[in-house]
Amino acid sequence: MQSQTSAPGNQTVSPTQFYTWKGYRCAYEVQTPPDASTGTGTPLLLIHPIGVGLSRHFWQRFGREWYQAEHRNPIYNPDLLGCGNSDMPHVTYTPEDWAEQLQYFLQTVVQKPVIVVVQGALFPVAIALTQLQKETNLIRGLVLSGPPAWPVMTKASKPWQRRLSWNLFDSPLGAAFYRYARRPQFLRSFSTKQLFDRAEAVDQEWVDMLVQGAQDPASRHAVFAFLAGFWRQNYEQAIASIQQPTLVVVGETASSISRSGKQETPEQRIADYLAHLPQGRSLKMTGRNVMPYETTTEFVQAIAPFVQELSQ
């Protein structure tokens, strides 16, 4: 592991580090409090969302705020395969693929139990990761930030639909669409309409992060696999089998891109998850769909008691 370097303000961030999984080079960084070579308490494993230009950098504000609030848990922040500084093979990524990548990361790099903090529709990756814990037991708890509407999580897409969508995206037409979608104007408009509660919260830092993250055209493969719906399954039984304590965090103005979830209120979303999670807890907070970025301070305050309880 490389030596760590000081970051502005209140944290120590490692240089980008790499490990090899199934022949692919996968990137990650480690964050710790500035006054210690290692943090204390149960480490956090962050799972970033999938989308145009998104990567582990989604969590940068969260990491800064976590240590500004004087929490000391070390943070492991990996790039999923196909994103950020990780390799970007031309494949149809599934939640199981990313879960296997993260399980290997836990076993070989972290080497201790973690609390998983997962953003949005990457919850299926966390579900698959919990299913890999029968022997290793490397997950102590989960924080679900803005999980999808319950109808989205319980309605599987048809295999032929996924394949048709992938073939359409995986074409010159799809490549042209990605070039259009990575334009700053489109990214700002989409973020305002679908992700953020307030238009002014879609700041230049956010747009610049997405533009930079989408520069490599190979980054489109993970995005298109996600848009094609390779993650869309009925997860009802799988969610009911999660034995770890799980905190469901939903924004006060949470919305759903999917038609099947548009009529669901935040209260209904919370109720559905709590009805199925054996050790589920919940809270509703300021924000819409990307609270770790949009309302970072409030998100840190919201999840800190749960994290500290599991760190005892």
Is residue 120 a part of any domain in this protein? yes
Is the pLDDT at 5 greater than 80, yes or no? no
The CATH number of the domain holding residue 123 is 3.40.50.1820
Amino acid code (one letter) for 262? K
Token pair recorded at residue 88: 């970007």
pLDDT at 259 over 80: no
Is the separation of the CB atoms in 28 and 79 below 8 Å? Answer: yes
In a domain, 167, yes or no: no
Work out how many domains the chain is built from and give that number. 1
- pLDDT value, residue 2: 34
Is residue 254 one of the residues assigned to a domain?
A: yes
Give percent above pLDDT 90 in the chain: 87
Element (H, E) at 286: none
Tens digit of pLDDT for each residue in 130-180? 999 988 899 999 999 999 999 999 999 999 999 999 999 999 999 999 999
Query: What is the predicted pLDDT for the residue at 262?
Result: 61
pLDDT tens track for 65-115 = 999 999 999 999 999 999 999 999 999 999 999 999 999 999 999 999 999
Tokens of 253: 């103005």
What is the per-residue pLDDT for 114? 98
C-beta of residue 78 within 8 angstroms of C-beta of residue 56: yes
- The answer to whether 55 touches 48, Cβ cutoff 8 Å, is yes
Q: Is 203 exposed, middle or buried (0-12, 13-18, 19+ CB in 10 A)?
A: middle
Contact 244, 130 (CB under 8 A): yes
Query: What contacts 135, CB < 8 A, 6 or more positions away?
Result: none
Q: For residue range 183-217, list pLDDT tens digits in order.
A: 999 999 999 999 999 999 999 999 999 999 999 99
pLDDT of residue 257: 66
Contact 282, 250 (CB under 8 A): yes
The predicted structure's pLDDT at residue 217:
96
What is the pLDDT at residue 132? Answer: 96
| Strand 44-47, strand 75-78: pairing | parallel
pLDDT in tens, 25-68: 999 999 998 876 666 899 999 999 999 999 999 999 999 999 99
Averaged pLDDT score across all residues of the chain: 92
The pLDDT value given to residue 1: 31
Which DSSP string corresponds to 10-42? Answer: TEEEPPPEEEEETTEEEEEEEEE-TT-SS--SS
Residue 176 lies in a domain: no
Q: Where are the beta strands (DSSP E) in the chain?
A: 5-7, 11-13, 17-21, 24-32, 44-47, 75-78, 114-119, 139-145, 246-251, 280-285
In a domain, 183, yes or no: no
- Name the band, by pLDDT with cuts 50, 70 and 90, for residue 12: low
Question: Residues 82, 88, 90, CA angle at the centre, nearest 5°?
Answer: 105
161 assigned to some structural domain:
no
Asked if the structure places residue 184 within a domain, the reply is no
Q: Domain for residue 286, yes or no?
A: yes
- The arithmetic mean of pLDDT across residues 118-137, rounded, is 94
Q: What is the pLDDT of residue 182?
A: 96
Boundaries of domain holding 303:
5-156+234-310
Number of other CB atoms surrounding residue 241 within 10 Å: 14
